[in-house]
Structure 1
Amino acid sequence: MLSSLWLDATRWWWMRKDVHEPLRTVLHTGPPRAHTPIADIKIVAVDLELTGLDPRADQIVAIGWVVIEQGRIRMQSARRTLVQIDGSVADSATVHGIVDASLQDALPLADALNPLLQEMTRAALLAHHAPVEQRFLNAACRSCFGAPLLVPVIDTVALGRRLLERGTRSAADDALRLPALRQRCGLPTYPAHDALTDALATAELFLAQCTRFGDIGDMPLSVVRS
């Protein structure tokens, strides 16, 4: 409840500012409420590939996302966008495989974010280790559109920790990695560190995790949100 109240108050504060579209529409359109069943909520699974983990110094090089609606992944919504950066990807290329030459035709950050934000109207954000995506998306949206991205957030790491601890297992970091949690749910292994593949892998993991908590037709957002 406190999280919902904080989100509502913060959105109200930012709605009084000069916020640009499409983020303005996201702010001015009410977010999914905590009591709404998950099956009735639009959820956008997002993954970012980055030059590092500090949004003050590092940059987004790729954005991948896919939409979940009515408890199903909408594959036609899947999208991966490369993003222009200042300077070089440097050593981060060894993680995500995106080299400087790959970004020659990449989109400016605002243009890359635009279609994602259009999907975020009346939606919740889903990510694996969501605080990283939150920090970078908030910084990017403030820079490009004038406000942070203030939507309900679901983190598959947090859900994985709850499920492991409910089963009296320790929630070690290795056990909370995306491949490890997918394996525990009986899901196949996908190649890592591609923005779209990781977004899809996160969406599949989330739906599998939901089955451990109950029926998504009745289960409210408050059960899974961070």
Structure 2
Amino acid sequence: MSFRAYLSIKVVYTAITQVAFPKLWRDWWYWNTTEDRLLAYVKKTATEGDPASVLAAVEKYNRDYEWTIMLEPDKTKKLEEVVKEASPEVCLEMGCYIGCSALAIGAQLPPGGRLITTEIDPRIADIARQLISFAGLDQVITVCNVKAGDLIQALRSDYSVDKLDFVFLDHFKQLYHPDLKRLEANHLLRKGTVVMADNTVMPGAPDFLEYVETSDKYKTERFEFTMPVFNELDAMTVSVYTKDY
């Protein structure tokens, strides 16, 4: 058995025993979902209109009550640093979930900046909109309930996007590479566009990682982190598009 296959089995086993089963039990016991409970906790404990307070409440719930699929604090800090330095005006996120990474991005945008993000599950997309609205960023962040590939095709016609300044990939890992190629094919990247991606090592996006680290179209840095719960090495990548086309 290869080392990567072993890691995949270990991650799946950990996800089932430490995440999925406890979540299903709580969902049955409370007759709602983790996302519903988290949203209620945020509205009860966070300061409305304050994205930092909302993110802190989510992190506390994640740490003290239930583990949820969200960026860990150290990854969130790196995301905020990259966005703040890039100061992008038009941003795209693929993989919103409940909106935590969207809040981290939206809070760092300059005046007039905007983020378009996508979540394929309509129920989760609605919770993300509620969380973003509670944080006061609903005029900055647009949550779309469509597949990432479909959103890419609609960016110009439906959202008046010419070029993207910042892209964050955090959806299905096997789609990182083809969706990045779609962005290129639709001429949505400009010289200097920042493309940031999570989970490029664990669970991994090997085709994407090889592409951005070897193509002369990108200048890429890799930042390593340890995944909580799974206790495995992961990485985020930050790639700057270098071409004029």
Band of TM-score, shorter chain: under 0.3
Identify the structure with bigger relative contact order (alpha carbons < 8 Å, sequence gap 6+): 1
What TM-score do the two structures reach when normalised by structure 2?
0.26
Larger helix proportion of the pair: 2
